[in-house]
Amino acid sequence: MKMKKIILSILGISTATTIVAAISGCKRHAVAVAATATLVATNTQAQTLINGAGSSFDYPAFTKWFEAYGKVDSNVRFNYQSIGSGAGQKQLLGQTVDFGASDAPMTDESMATAKGKILHIPVVAGGVAVIYNLPGDIKIKLDGDTLAAIYLGNITKWNDTKIAALNSGVNLPDLAIVPVHRADGSGTSFIFTDYLSVVNPAWADSIGKGSAVKWPAGIGLAAKGSEGVAGQVKQISGAIGYAELAYADQNKIPYADMKNSTGNFISPSTDSVSAALATAKIPEDFRFSMVNAPGDKSYPISGASWVLVYQQTKIADHGKPLVAFLKWAVTDGQKLSSQLDYAPLPDNVQQRELQLLDTIK
Amino acid sequence: MSRTKSAFLPLFVLLIFRREKKFDCMATTKMTTATGQFGDRAFKWLTLAMAFAVFVLIALIGYELASGSHLAMQKFGWRFLISSDWDPVNDIYGALPVIFGTVVSSLIALIIAVPISVATAVYLTELAPLWLRQPLIMFIELLAAIPSVILGFWGLSVMVPWLHAHLFPAMRGTLGFLPLFKGPDYGPCILAAGMILAIMIVPIITSVSREILRSVPGLQREAAYALGATRWEVTRIAVLSYAKKGIFGAVILGLGRALGETMAVTLVIGNIAQIVPSLFSPGATLASTIANEFTEATGDLYYSALFELGLVLLGVTLVVNIFAQLLLKTFAGPSVKPQN
């Protein structure tokens, strides 16, 4: 009898504190509530916490997916650190996370240092818009060679004959071109320099591709982040820059139509990037570049971003939920990410990825 | 640091309790002295340990940076300091342009900030009416409290466009014959970075200088007045020359902050690592380069080169401080040191 009373009173007290905590929202109480919540969860079914780290380009997509996936499987929780692609690869190699995320595929050298086979799973794709600031409401067209020449410093005026040849009928001003690039290492720079390297041999020889490169000396300036580049282009008359499509759209900066491999001038959009993905040559291991993809509707400056996982998962019981999530992300999740200006993965790519995901143990 | 401190906290509590006890048992004198001596000794060792922790911390940071940059040191040796190449694609790294950017932007900051700060400090201690002093001091301290990223953002969106539209064309018109003020200007540049840094270090130099001027003995001033000196002469001879060593120390404190400042500089400097005479051209600093490139550095050598930039930054700060100490010794005179 006495025992029952004690138990009842304990129950009563804990319920009371929970209610008080919920009302007050005090930090210390919140911890207590969280602790109770986990306790309840572990009693019914073990909750899995999956850790990821890497690309900041993917971060908005992951945030949206994690939230929506809670409704699909409430027993899996995710923790993603948006620390950059390079750091994400390092964390995966150091086996401190379950998955990494990177805007550039891993190199053979760094794959060789891994303790196990690493798989590349493309999860999102995006276009890089070539933005500019010109007086008046001018819509311009550019091709890869002209863009490379601008960034190499060989074309310095907007009314240069090469630009004029692509834009007949457009009144180009006699204005100095100020090329703006990213100051920080970034996947956007990787896609941009990858494109210039593919279409322009001079660029490939002297600069090359990378998330950070040695930009031609004494030309233009650099800013931190896509928002930084967009900001500078907006401020400087005559500036040209590059940023993810979402930034260009949000900041209402005009962007150029780019000439693709079939000779069509294409405006960047989720559709034209998806078209590029559908026609891009994708090898077995998914380490591909989709710049200058064939197909008459493909936007040429686009790239994918990958989730990196070990084929043999390091923590045994994390494998299944992670694979289930990734399968969901590359199929159902694509509808959500396209709301955030990422290009959805086309069906043929989705099917191949599902097969690859089945090989994960 | 905070962890060490919290670890010592129980010891502190223990000491305080012992002290309390001392009052309780006043009668037993023998025991009291023993406890008191123990307490004093423990306190002495404790403070020594705290002071020593700073050395340990700096040594650890130095060691970490050195071991992190091992790979780059092995590959490039001293060439790292004199090479201008920074090419992550081909894995070739050299720090000279960023060292140049760091030193030049900090020097510009000093050239702008020192006259303003010293003049403000003199006004506050020697000339300002009492009712004005406190509000002015408060505003200067408020300036020190603005986070650097806010200043940087203000610099980018307000100051730089204004400089580009008004001040820079005017400077080009009047001083354009100097190579310092030639060449194209886009807005963000080394000069703009120097100006933002100047705003950031004015409060430090002003507050420390003010404390030093305040500690100049009143007798010093009275003596000068007695000799028939004017107010300007009193300030120059009796106050400033007496306090110059301390003011120099204040300037070095400001320089220390300018050298390591990251966020505000990144936003307004233009981030192009190059060595050019024009102050209107973009540049890059050690701190801004580390902040920009660290997260996406994939290669081991690249990573290591960024660590070495950190080591160089530590080195530059050290060299500047040693140089300043030597300069002080050379021009030693009757003076007041910063009282901390």
Q: Which two tokens stand for residue B78?
A: 């001293």
Higher-scoring residue by pLDDT: B17, A79: A79
Integer-rounded Cα Rg, in Å, for chain B is: 25
From B93, which residue of chain A is nearest by alpha-carbon distance? Answer: A214
Confidence of residue A219 (pLDDT cuts 50, 70, 90): confident
Instruction: Spell out which residues of chain B touch residue A217, defining contact as CB-CB under 8 Å.
Output: 274
pLDDT, tens digit, 9 for 90 and up, residues B279-321: 999 999 999 999 988 877 878 899 899 999 999 999 998 888 8
Distance CA A146, CA A169 (A): 18
Q: What are the distances in angstroms from CA A41 to CA A16, A29, A76, B208, B250?
A: 20, 18, 11, 57, 58
Q: Which two tokens stand for residue B25?
A: 């048992």
pLDDT, tens digit, 9 for 90 and up, residues A293-307: 998 999 999 999 999
Q: Is the pLDDT of residue A276 over 80?
A: yes
Specify whether the CB–CB gap between A21 and A301 falls below 8 A: no
**Residues comprising chain B, all counted:** 340
Separation of CA A176 from chain center: 32
For residue B101, the model assigns a pLDDT of 94
pLDDT, tens digit, 9 for 90 and up, residues A132-189: 999 988 899 999 999 999 999 999 999 999 999 999 889 899 999 999 999 988 889 9
Distance CA B329, CA B336 (A): 13
B188–A221 C-beta distance less than 8 A: yes
For residue A100, the model assigns a pLDDT of 93
Q: Which two tokens stand for residue B162?
A: 């204004």
Instruction: Spell out which residues of chain A touch residue B187, defining contact as CB-CB under 8 Å.
Output: 232, 235-236
Specify whether the CB–CB gap between A337 and A64 falls below 8 A: yes
Q: Is the pLDDT of residue A107 over 90?
A: no
Q: What are the distances in angstroms from CA A348 to CA A117, A304, A352, B82, B188?
A: 24, 15, 7, 52, 46
Average pLDDT, stretch B136-157? 91
Nearest to B122 by CA among B242, B274, B222: B242
Specify whether the CB–CB gap between B146 and B237 falls below 8 A: no
Average pLDDT, stretch B94-100? 94
Q: Is the pLDDT of residue B114 over 60?
A: yes
CATH number of B83-332: 1.10.3720.10
For residue A101, the model assigns a pLDDT of 93
How far does the CA of residue A347 sit from the closest CA of chain B (Å)? 31
Confidence of residue B19 (pLDDT cuts 50, 70, 90): very low
Give domain limits for chain B.
Answer: 1-68, 83-332
Q: Is the pLDDT of residue B201 over 90?
A: yes
Specify whether the CB–CB gap between A118 and A71 falls below 8 A: no
Distance CA B255, CA B320 (A): 9
pLDDT, tens digit, 9 for 90 and up, residues B60-92: 999 999 999 999 999 999 999 999 989 988 889
DSSP 8-state class, residue B228? T
Confidence of residue B103 (pLDDT cuts 50, 70, 90): very high
Specify whether the CB–CB gap between B184 and A220 falls below 8 A: no
Confidence of residue A315 (pLDDT cuts 50, 70, 90): confident
Residue in this structure with the two tokens 């959500």, named with its chain if needed:
A336
Q: Can you give chain A as a three-state secondary structure string?
A: CHHHHHHHHHHHHHHHHHHHHHHHCCHHHHHHHHHHHHHHHHHHCCCEEEEEEECCCCHHHHHHHHHHHHHHCCCEEEEEECCCHHHHHHHHHCCCCCEEEECCCCCHHHHHCCCCCEEEEEEEEEEEEEEECCCCCCCCEECHHHHHHHHHCCCCECCCHHHHHHCCCCCCCCCECEEEEECCCCHHHHHHHHHHHHHCHHHHHHCCCCCCCCCCCCCCEEECHHHHHHHHHHHCCCEEEEEEHHHHHHCCCCECEEECCCCCEECCCHHHHHHHHHHCCCCCCCCCCCCCCCCCCCCCCEEEEEEEEECCCCCHHHHHHHHHHHHHHHCCHHHHHHCCCCECCCHHHHHHHHHHHCCCC
Scored b (16 or more CB within 10 A) or e, A244-263 reads bbbbbeeeebbbbbbbbbee
Confidence of residue A4 (pLDDT cuts 50, 70, 90): low
B160 touches chain A (CB under 8 A): yes
Question: CA angle A327-A329-A330, nearest 5°?
Answer: 70
Confidence of residue A5 (pLDDT cuts 50, 70, 90): low
Other C-beta atoms closer than 10 Å to the C-beta of A351 total: 12
With an 8 Å Cβ cutoff, the interface of chain A facing chain B consists of: 56, 83-87, 89-90, 104, 107, 110, 176, 178, 183-187, 207-215, 217-218, 220-224, 228, 231-232, 235-236, 239
* Chain B interface, best mutation among A91, A106, A214, by max B CB count within 10 A: A214
Average pLDDT, stretch A9-29? 44
Instruction: Spell out which residues of chain A touch residue B292, defining contact as CB-CB under 8 Å.
Output: 183-185, 224
For residue A87, the model assigns a pLDDT of 84
What are the residues facing A132 on neighbouring strands? A240
For residue B39, the model assigns a pLDDT of 86
Specify whether the CB–CB gap between B285 and B268 falls below 8 A: no
Distance CA A305, CA A191 (A): 10
Three-state DSSP class for residue B5: helix
Confidence of residue A211 (pLDDT cuts 50, 70, 90): confident
Q: Is the dihedral of CA A132, A138, A144, A149 positive or negative?
A: negative
B residues 238-277 lying closer than 8 A (beta carbon) to A: 266-267, 270-272, 274, 276
| Domains contained in chain A, CATH given | 2-35 (no CATH), 48-118+305-357 (3.40.190.10), 127-277 (3.40.190.10)
Residue in this structure with the two tokens 């000196």, named with its chain if needed:
B229
Enclosing H/E stretch for B86? strand B86-87
Distance CA A85, CA A184 (A): 12
How far does the CA of residue B151 sit from the closest CA of chain A (Å)? 15
Specify whether the CB–CB gap between B84 and B101 falls below 8 A: no
From B187, which residue of chain A is nearest by alpha-carbon distance? Answer: A236
Confidence of residue A322 (pLDDT cuts 50, 70, 90): very high
B272–A220 C-beta distance less than 8 A: yes
For residue A41, the model assigns a pLDDT of 43
Nearest to A229 by CA among A237, A239, A218, A217: A239
Pairs of residues, one from chain A and one from chain B, whose beta carbons lie less than 8 Å apart: 98
Confidence of residue A97 (pLDDT cuts 50, 70, 90): very high
The phi, psi pair for B215, rounded to 5°, reads -85, 0
Distance CA B291, CA B310 (A): 10
Distance CA B280, CA B168 (A): 8
Other C-beta atoms closer than 10 Å to the C-beta of A60 total: 16
Q: Is the pLDDT of residue A336 over 70?
A: yes
For residue B63, the model assigns a pLDDT of 94
Q: Is the pLDDT of residue A43 over 50?
A: no
Query: Which residue type sits at B94?
Result: G
Task: Name the residue facing B292 among A86, A184, A187 (closest C-beta).
Answer: A184
* Chain A interface, best mutation among B296, B303, B306, B307, by max A CB count within 10 A: B296
Region label for A29, one of left (φ > 0), alpha (ψ between -120 and 50) or beta (otherwise)? alpha
Distance CA B161, CA B171 (A): 15
Specify whether the CB–CB gap between B217 and B234 falls below 8 A: no
Specify whether the CB–CB gap between B224 and B238 falls below 8 A: yes
Angle between helices B29-68 and B300-330 (to 10 degrees): 120
Q: Is the pLDDT of residue A44 over 50?
A: no
Three-state DSSP class for residue B87: strand
Q: Is the pLDDT of residue B135 over 60?
A: yes
Instruction: Spell out which residues of chain B touch residue A178, defining contact as CB-CB under 8 Å.
Output: 186
For residue A325, the model assigns a pLDDT of 94
Q: Is the pLDDT of residue B20 over 50?
A: no
A210–B88 C-beta distance less than 8 A: yes
Average pLDDT, stretch B8-12? 41
B88–A213 C-beta distance less than 8 A: yes
Specify whether the CB–CB gap between B108 and B197 falls below 8 A: yes
Q: Is the pLDDT of residue A34 over 90?
A: no
Confidence of residue B32 (pLDDT cuts 50, 70, 90): low
Which residues, including other chains, have CB under 8 Å from residue B86's CB and lie 6 or more apart?
A214, B92, B93, B94, B95, B97, B98, B273, B289
How far does the CA of residue A83 sit from the closest CA of chain B (Å)? 6
* Mean pLDDT, chain A, whole residue set: 85
For residue B294, the model assigns a pLDDT of 85
The phi, psi pair for A81, rounded to 5°, reads -100, 120
For residue A20, the model assigns a pLDDT of 42
